[in-house]
């Protein structure tokens, strides 16, 4: 997309203090007791704005992706904010990510002087955005699922003025619950598997297109595996607490975590996605590769970000608590987010001002899709202009 603006990129560093029993992020000398955050702010030269669009993902940096830069190219001020867990979600605690997002919003309003902040939740940032907004409007959380103190209720989180849920899933836990490979019967030995639950094994008598009965049993087996891991994580944490030693946390590997049957059966929740493929490539390869969902994690992180029963970043629950204006955008060729997720979230949203739109043919990343990108940015600008958050 061509730009009529000379967009300036500014590196941003925020630091705030935190009291914690132990450190779960690697930093530099001298930062003990302090949280350091980095971001990139895009500002079109000569284009003042009272509104800042904040893009944030729990574990990724977004400034190299096309969506935030495309919005800056339209004249909007954009912040691509990274959490303390940027590019390493191994020990990620969702409650702390919400605090990081709150630090950016406070800085935007009190230091930079923006009157309005809009959360643009793209991909994994969608559930983060609605969860933050719910907690800012109606604070409730005082501890993590592991029982560690983290006072979101008393943090004074500043609500955003609007939330955009763009090509986003319900939560990291929802995504994992639908991708976890249920064929694994021994967590310590990924080669010990139930063939009838292995969608990548040609010996499996169940082959695409799958029957409704098979999918129901498959989904139940996925959830059962997730709950077994959750129960084990809780038990291990309790053992560590009872020992009362310096060992407070433990890392572990979760094998085979990328086996959503939608990857191999395009008749399931059909959309315009590429069949037999995924946003990370060949799903069978990703299922066992190092970048699979939740591959490396810790006891506390599993409960906080990956356990469907425990995570505070459950977009489906959060959206029922928030009341800010909400725009939900589904990409019809999304190969990362199931079509059911944005639709389900929109149906559950309690905001009195909510809209739903589909960008036809758009993939998850809008890669090589200038027309779809233009459609998305125009849609966002018009929607914000109608709410006096950007000029028309």
Closest among 82, 86, 90, 87 to 24, alpha carbons compared: 90
| Nearest residue to 255 (alpha-carbon basis) of 222, 218, 292 | 292
Burial label, 206 (beta-carbon count in 10 A; 0-12, 13-18, 19+): middle
Domains of the chain: 7-171+312-386 (3.40.50.1820), 175-306 (no CATH)
Query: pLDDT at position 365, please?
Result: 93
Residue 157 CA to residue 61 CA, distance in Å, equals 22
pLDDT at residue 1, rounded to an integer: 39
Contact 158, 104 (CB under 8 A): no
Output the six-digit token pair for 64.
């190299």
Q: Coil, helix or strand for 328? A: strand
**118 touches 160 (CB < 8 A):** yes
Predicted local confidence at residue 2, as pLDDT: 44
pLDDT, one tens digit for every residue, the chain (392 residues): 345 789 999 999 999 988 888 888 876 545 567 899 999 999 999 999 999 999 999 999 999 999 999 999 999 999 999 999 999 999 999 999 999 999 999 999 999 999 999 999 999 999 999 999 999 999 999 999 999 999 999 999 999 999 999 999 999 999 999 999 999 999 999 999 999 999 999 999 999 999 999 999 999 999 999 999 999 999 999 999 999 999 999 999 999 999 999 999 999 999 999 999 999 999 999 999 999 999 999 999 999 999 999 999 999 999 999 999 999 999 999 999 999 999 999 999 999 999 999 999 999 999 999 999 999 999 999 999 999 999 97
| CA gap 315, 270 in Å, rounded | 22
């Amino acid at each position: 997309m061509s730009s009529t603006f000379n967009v300036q990129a500014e590196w941003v560093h925020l630091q705030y203090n935190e009291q914690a029993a132990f450190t779960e992020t690697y930093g530099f000398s001298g930062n003990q007791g302090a949280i350091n955050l980095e971001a990139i702010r895009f500002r079109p030269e000569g284009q003042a704005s009272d509104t800042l669009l904040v893009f944030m993902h729990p574990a990724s940096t977004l400034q190299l992706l096309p969506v935030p830069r495309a919005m800056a190219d339209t004249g909007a001020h954009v912040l691509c904010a990274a959490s303390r867990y940027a590019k390493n979600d191994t020990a990620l605690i969702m409650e702390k990510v919400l605090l990081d997002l709150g630090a950016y919003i406070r800085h935007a309003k009190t230091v930079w002087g923006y009157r309005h902040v809009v959360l643009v939740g793209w991909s994994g940032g969608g559930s983060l955005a609605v969860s933050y907004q719910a907690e800012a409007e109606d604070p409730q959380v005082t501890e993590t699922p592991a029982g560690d103190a983290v006072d979101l209720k008393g943090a004074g989180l500043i609500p955003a003025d609007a939330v955009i849920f763009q090509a986003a899933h319900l939560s990291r836990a929802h995504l994992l619950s639908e991708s976890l490979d249920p064929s694994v019967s021994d967590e310590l030995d990924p080669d010990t598997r139930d063939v009838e639950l292995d969608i990548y094994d040609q010996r499996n008598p169940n082959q695409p297109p799958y029957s409704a009965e098979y999918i129901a049993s498959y989904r139940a087996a996925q959830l059962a595996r997730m709950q077994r891991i959750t129960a084990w994580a809780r038990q291990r944490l309790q053992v560590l607490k009872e020992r009362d030693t310096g060992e407070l946390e433990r890392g572990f590997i979760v094998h085979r975590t990328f086996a959503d049957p939608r990857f191999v059966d395009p008749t399931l929740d059909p959309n315009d996605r590429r069949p037999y493929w995924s946003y990370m490539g060949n799903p069978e390869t990703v299922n066992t590769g190092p970048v699979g969902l939740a591959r490396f994690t810790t006891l506390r992180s599993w409960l906080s970000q990956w356990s469907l029963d425990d995570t505070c970043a459950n977009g489906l629950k959060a959206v029922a608590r928030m009341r800010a204006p909400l725009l939900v955008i589904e990409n019809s060729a999304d190969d990362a987010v199931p079509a059911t997720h944005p639709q389900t979230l929109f149906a559950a949203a309690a905001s009195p001002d909510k809209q739903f739109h589909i960008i036809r043919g758009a993939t998850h990343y809008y890669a090589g899709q200038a027309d779809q990108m233009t459609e998305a940015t125009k849609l966002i600008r018009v929607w914000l202009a109608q709410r006096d958050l950007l000029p028309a």
